[in-house]
Amino acid sequence: MDRIYKVAVMVGSLRKGSYCRMLARAAAGLAPPSLVLDIVEIRDLPLYNEDLDGASPPAAWTAFREAVSKADALLFVTPEYNRSVPGPLKNAIDVGSRPYGRSVFGGKPGAIISLSPGALGAFGANHHLRQSLVFLDVPMLQQPEAYIGNGGSLFDDKGSLKNDSTKEFLQKYLQTFGRWVARQTAA
């Protein structure tokens, strides 16, 4: 029997009708049986402040850190704000990587899917996020890269992914990610 890997999915958009959240949900349904994708919420994380990170850090930080710690791998689904990563996602990375020397991300294989309503597919956010994750010792899936554009036309009125070519791409991407996770966790 093949091993099943738990993947912590962090969605960079907090918007109620977020295309990224819709895509993350679609990914959970298209993932191979070896991957179980669970969204780890970032919306309630107070801004990181080292002064608060003593003996009693905020409960939301502790819950987030525990959820990510239990995961075998990481998947980030992000939009692009001003050619970079949205503030809430960067804050989640700061919360998870602190206190210094106790990062919950280190060594966990990761991947990024970026999505935008425009044609570029949040290319800038994808690469900025990749820089932070490499620094945090997250072995990143290099190929294929996942920049998905025209996000507003990919979903039906119920938030389900309706675009067949995007479904096919996402399924192949997740299969490759599953093999990447298996290789990285076996090493």
Could you report the per-residue pLDDT of 22-51, keeping only the tens digit for each? 999 999 999 999 999 999 999 999 999 999
Strands (E), 24-134: 35-39, 73-78, 110-115
Q: Provide the pLDDT for residue 79.
A: 92
Strands (E), the chain: 5-11, 35-39, 73-78, 110-115, 146-148
What is the number of domains present in the chain? 1
Computed over every residue of the chain, the mean pLDDT equals: 94
Q: What is the CATH number of the domain that holds 146?
A: 3.40.50.360
Contact 11, 24 (CB under 8 A): yes
Question: What pLDDT band is residue 54 in, cutting at 50, 70 and 90?
Answer: confident
The share of the chain scoring above pLDDT 90, in percent, equals 85
pLDDT at residue 121 tops 80: no
- Please state, in angstroms and rounded to a whole number, the distance separating the CA atoms of residues 101 and 133: 15
Q: How many residues does the chain have?
A: 187
Contact 43, 14 (CB under 8 A): yes
Sequence-distant (6+) residues with CB within 8 A of 72 are 5, 6, 7, 108, 109, 181, 185
Rounded to an integer, the average pLDDT of 59-67 is 98
Q: Provide the pLDDT for residue 18.
A: 94
Print the domain residue range for 23. Answer: 5-186
Contact 37, 24 (CB under 8 A): yes
pLDDT at residue 1 tops 70: no
Q: How far apart are the first and last CA of the chain?
A: 19
User: Tokens representing 14?
Assistant: 């907090």
Q: Provide the pLDDT for residue 74.
A: 98
